[in-house]
Chain A
Amino acid sequence: MNATHPPAVPPRDVDRVLPEPPNGLPRPPGELEALERAWEPPRGIRFLTETNNNFVGLWYVATSLFFFVAAGIMALIIRAQLARPESTLVGHDTYNQLFTMHGTIMMFLFAVPAVEAASVYLLPNIQAARDLPFPRLSAYAFWAYFFGGLFFLSSIFQGVAPNTGWYMYPPLTSTQFSPGVNADYWLLGIGFIEISAIAGAIEIIVGVMKTRAVGMSLDKLPVYSWAMLVFAVMIVIGFPAIILGTILLELERAFDWPFFIVNRGGDPVLWQHLFWFFGHPEVYIIFLPAAGMVSMIVPAIARAPLVGYRLVILALIATGFLSFGLWVHHMFTTGLPKMSLGFFSAASAAVAIPSGIQVFSWIATVASGRVRLTTPALFILGFLFIFTLGGLTGVMVAVAPFDWVAHDTYFIVAHLHYVLVGGMVFPFFAALYYWVPVASKRPLSERVGRWVFGLMFVGVNLTFFPQHIAGLIGMPRRYYTYPVGMGLDAYNLASTIGAFILASGILLFFVDLARTFRPGGESAGNLWGASTLEWLPNGNYNTRSIPAVASRDPLWAQPNLAREVEQGRWYLPGTVTGRREALVTSPIEARPQYVLVVPGPGWAHVLAAVFTAAFFALLTVKLNYLALFCGVAGIFCVMWWLWQLDPGPLREPADIGGGLILPVHATGPVSHSWWAVIVLLVVCGMIYLCLVFSYLFLWLVNPTAWPPAGVSVPPGWAGMAGIGLYGLSAGLVWWAGRILHGPEQRPRAVPLLLGGALLPLLGAGALDVWGQLSVGLDPKGSAYGAAVMTMVSLQLLYVAIVVLMLGFTLARWWTGRIDRVRRAVFDNTMLFWLYSAAQGIVALAVIHGFPRLAGGL
Chain B
Amino acid sequence: MERHRPWLRSAEFLGGFLFWSAQFTAVYMATSVACGRGLGEATLLGVNVVTLIVLATSASALAGAAALLLLALRRRRAGGLDRSQAFLNDATALISGLALVAIAYTAAPALLVPACP
Contact = CB atoms under 8 A, between A and B. Distances in A.
Choose among A218, A310, A314, A588 the residue with the greatest number of B CB atoms under 10 Å from its CB: A588
Contact of B31 (A339, A589, A701): A339
Contacts of B98: 314, 318, 353-354
Interface in B79-117: 83-84, 86-88, 90-91, 94-95, 98, 101-102, 105-106, 108-110, 112-117
B48 to A, nearest CB: 10
A754 B21 CA distance: 38
Interface stretch (A320-328, A512-520, A541-549, A844-852): A320-328
A339 B37 contact: no
Contacts of B116: 337-339
Interface stretch (A65-73, A152-160, A340-348, A474-482): A340-348
B50 A857 contact: no
Interface of B: 1-2, 6, 14, 17, 20-21, 24, 27-28, 31-33, 35-37, 40, 50, 54, 83-84, 86-88, 90-91, 94-95, 98, 101-102, 105-106, 108-110, 112-117
Contacts of B88: 218-219, 588
A337 B102 contact: no
- B21, B91, B102 — which one has the most chain A CB atoms within 10 A of its CB? B102
Given A325-B24, A341-B113, A349-B105, 7 more contacts: A219-B84, A311-B94, A337-B116, A339-B110, A339-B115, A342-B113, A353-B98
Closest 5 CB pairs of A and B: A342-B109, A219-B87, A588-B2, A321-B17, A346-B105
A839 to B, nearest CB: 20
A587 interface: yes
Contacts of B86: 219
B109 A339 contact: yes
B106 A310 contact: no
A240 to B, nearest CB: 16
A335 B117 contact: yes
B68 to A, nearest CB: 14
A350 B109 contact: no
A218 B84 contact: yes
Interface residues of A, number: 37
A820 B94 CA distance: 44
Interface of A: 15, 217-219, 310-311, 313-314, 317-318, 321-322, 324-325, 335, 337-343, 345-347, 349-350, 353-354, 586-589, 700-701, 703, 857
B109 A343 contact: yes
A325 B115 contact: no
A322 B20 CA distance: 9
Contacts of A339: 31, 50, 54, 109-110, 113-116
B112 to A, nearest CB: 7
Contacts of B101: 350, 353
B33 A338 contact: no
Contacts of A317: 14, 17, 91, 95
A343 B27 contact: yes
Contacts of B83: 15, 217, 219
Contact of B33 (A218, A335, A588, A700): A700
A346 B84 contact: no
A666 to B, nearest CB: 16
A321 B32 CA distance: 21
6 contacts: A324-B21, A342-B112, A347-B102, A350-B102, A589-B84, A703-B36
